[in-house]
Amino acid sequence: MNDSDIRAKRQHAALAHSAPPPRAEADRDAARAMDSLRRIVHALRVATRASERSFGLSTAQHFVLRQLAVRSGQSLSDIAARTRTTQSTVSEVVGGLVRRGLVSRQASAKDRRRAELSLTAAGDAVLARAPETVQERLIAGFGSMGETERRALADGLEGWLAASSLDGVAPVFFFEDDT
């Protein structure tokens, strides 16, 4: 074996040890993604238990109340847009808040077909003691990212769901019964 063969062998050995095999890299990326998802789910579960214990509200109800506090007289479609979900999903949550007396629903004076939602005094009292929600923190964090990073994250999550055959699962509020 000559000097050039020895050097080539050493370079090959160094490269083999410096770069992880593609499978190991994919496994590390999967672990990072799963750990990030676990942290989000954990934060939501802890917040759900705290909200239920402190206020008797699910995190979705707490989140909707906080969005209603931004502006009185919003419609279901306004709240759906603010909570980044669908009108049918938010309708269930709002219905529970109306039944509990935390939100009022009245026909609009301008358009009787439109229902306007407002916090009641009881809803205001709950919010006076309630902290920011995890959902608000996630939305604010997402908004603070650059456009390219936001789009890559959204595209990546959608691609991950499709590759996992989960893209047909309905996007309901976290930990809300979707029946």
In a domain, 14, yes or no: no
Token pair for 101 = 């007396």
pLDDT at residue 97 tops 90: yes
Name the more confident of 89 and 103.
103
CA distance 156 to 36: 13
pLDDT at residue 172 tops 90: no
In a domain, 42, yes or no: yes
Instruction: Look at the chain and report how many structural domains it folds into.
Output: 1
Q: Tell me what pLDDT residue 54 has.
A: 87
CA distance 157 to 163: 10
In a domain, 7, yes or no: no
Mean pLDDT of 149-174: 89
For residue range 68-79, what is the model confidence (pLDDT) as tens digits?
Answer: 998 888 999 999
In a domain, 73, yes or no: yes
Token pair for 27 = 């496994």
Q: Tell me what pLDDT residue 178 has.
A: 46
In a domain, 95, yes or no: yes
In a domain, 1, yes or no: no
In a domain, 168, yes or no: no
Least confident piece of the model among 2-11, 45-54, 75-84, 141-150: 2-11
CA distance 177 to 66: 20
Q: What separation in angstroms does the CA of 81 have from each of 16, 101, 123?
A: 51, 23, 21
- State pTM to two decimals: 0.69
Domain CATH code at residue 106: 1.10.10.10
Q: What is the extent of the structural domain holding 35?
A: 27-163
Crossing angle for the helix pair 22-55 and 121-129, nearest 10 degrees? 130
What is the rounded (10 degree) CA torsion for 49, 53, 59, 64?
180
Token pair for 131 = 């902290």
In a domain, 63, yes or no: yes
> Residue 4 — very low, low, confident or very high, per pLDDT cuts 50/70/90?
low
What integer best gives the mean pLDDT of the chain? Answer: 85
pLDDT at residue 153 tops 90: yes
pLDDT at residue 147 tops 90: yes
Q: Tell me what pLDDT residue 17 has.
A: 56
